[in-house]
Structure 1
């Protein structure tokens, strides 16, 4: 398996593992809407896995991170490290993304 695809899957798996700790009453918001946090994450993960299935793991990774940024979602250090590793392998890594990920720290 492609290393980038493997790293993207690892990031999505780690994000999915956080679902068990999400309060089902939590809400996340972007400029246009409010969403149930757990449902929002579940949809992001589902969409990412669908893209990965068709070998679009780079798009899955980028879309997931962008969507998390849009709702100002906070990630722990392990998830941020996992995202950075996946982005570096995919050659989509730049300082702008690093700055955005730093803002996502819990």
Structure 2
């Protein structure tokens, strides 16, 4: 029972760290006008691409993000693979698996992150 609480606590803490990291990156006003997103007063249709961070090394991310930016993409979507953080039930690996470092690379390239 205690380990289930630890697992839930780990998920909450991981999400808070990621959300805090992303929140610090950009402070913008976002609304919706029934057709597009309005970001800081400008109508935008965001183009997104997905990268699964466990399938690429940290060294690959910069190149992948640059290619995405050159291709006109605005958003990179990635998933938090919980099975990598808890491969065996109730045995949590205390790592964010470079997710925070990858989100910093996105900040440098001025690309949005969708979790």
The answer to which structure has the higher helix fraction is 1
Larger radius of gyration: 2
TM-score (norm 2): 0.33
Higher relative contact order (CA 8 A, sep 6+): 1
TM-score (norm 1): 0.34
